[in-house]
Amino acid sequence: MVDNEIPIHYICTHDQAIELINMHNRFWVSNCGCREGNEKNCQRSRIDVCLMFAESDSGSGSGKKAVDRAFVDGIMKEAETKQLVSRPFRNEARTDTDGICFCCDDCCGYFAEGSEYKCDKGKFIEKTDIDYCSQCGLCEEVCYFKAREMKNKEIEVNRDNCYGCGLCVSVCPEDCIKMVERK
């Protein structure tokens, strides 16, 4: 029996996504169903970013095809460059990870629809050393979960909203944000 309390999707950092990828040697990709169905014609990133580890998975969009590791590495490069959230998905039984969606806030159903799409928080959470923060606001721009907000020219962090994607770490010029294990 499937535990319906466990969402199909969860959040992870790009490093964790690479660890998941390294556990497999065969890959398939399809177009992102959210991007295909978006009236805004999302131009945030390439469309073929629905990565699957199981041949039996149909994908979220059209154009499913087998790809090699170099192709997968290209998707990871796109995710890093375009600040896409790594959102792995579990199999129907919720026992294994079957692939990874790479999502943006422009068209992803999770970000656009909110509560309708449940998603587990990741293993990690941000930890910011405010004493070293330059208050540049770059981390706020990439935080799709609204855990970081500029107020009165200072960053405020709401850790309850942090899902552990690590995008804030990747853009911080002061290196004052770390990902730590969630308790």
> How does DSSP assign 52-82, residue by residue?
ES-TT---SSS--EEE-HHHHHHHHHHHHHT
pLDDT at 105 over 50: yes
Q: Rounded CA gap, 177 and 179, in Å?
A: 7
Whole-structure pTM value: 0.91
- Ordered strands of the 9-10 beta sheet: 65-67, 27-30, 50-52, 97-103, 85-90, 9-10, 119-120
Domain boundaries, the chain: 9-120, 124-181
pLDDT single digits (tens) 38-83: 766 677 888 899 999 999 988 888 999 999 999 999 999 999 999 9
Q: Residues 6 or more apart from 45 whose CB is under 8 A from it? A: 78, 79, 82, 84, 102, 104
Q: What is the pLDDT of residue 1?
A: 41
- Which CATH number does the domain 124-181 belong to among 3.20.20.70, 3.30.200.20, 3.30.70.20, 3.40.50.300? 3.30.70.20
Parallel, antiparallel, or unpaired: how do β-strands 9-10 and 119-120 relate? parallel
